Amino acid sequence: MGRFLAFVLLAVVCGAFVNAKKKGMLEIVTLHLPEECSAKAEVGDEVAVHYVGKLESGMVFDMSKLPDNSREPIRFQLGKNNVIKGWEEGVKGMCLGEHRKLVIPPHLGYGKQAQGSIPPDSTLIFTVELVELNKPSIFESLSLSTPFIIGPAIVVLIGLYLCWKASAISTQQAKVKREQKQKKKK
């Protein structure tokens, strides 16, 4: 009886895992992790990645590293959405020199759009290696957060201006009323 329950529990867990994969979750497998990791890739970082892209059938549709070194790694800034969503999520958190396998479901890849030799609704399998990681300077970091700072700052400044104006108007109105009362007394 105990073995039967263990088997049923194992079947349920495996079924949940298979269903999670069917629902289209990004699968990230670390193939090589360097001994030291002084910094991890995060939003705002400039990264360079060597890659091999395959379809589920195993057909290679693109790669950045050729035997004659005639191609460069792909360079992009995390968070700018210059690459497919699966890459944005899959490269985030990588260490310099780390190798990962990314199994990217269609909605995080090219979706219903065909892309070159990639058919619509394709699951993409990439082997990626982070070969460069450049953190932004403090000024670049500020520029990334500027849209989130400027909007609220403008609202606060407008609010302060309106309060100041309202205060000036009410002070002026009070002064006019005092002058009118003084004229009536005379």
Is 84 in the active site? yes
Q: What angle do CA 110, 84, 86 make, to 5 degrees?
A: 100
Contacts of residue 130, Cβ cutoff 8 Å, sequence gap at least 6: 41, 47, 48, 49, 91, 94, 95, 96, 97, 98
Residue among 28, 84, 118, 125 flagged as catalytic: 84
Residue among 28, 104, 110, 125 flagged as catalytic: 110
Residue among 51, 76, 104, 118 flagged as catalytic: 51
Is 148 in the active site? no
Is 110 in the active site? yes
Residue among 28, 104, 118, 126 flagged as catalytic: 126
Is 61 in the active site? yes
Two structure tokens written together for 71: 């191609």
Long-range contact pairs involving 151-157 (C-beta distance under 8 Å, separation at least 24): none
> Which active-site residues does the annotation give?
51, 61-62, 84, 110, 126
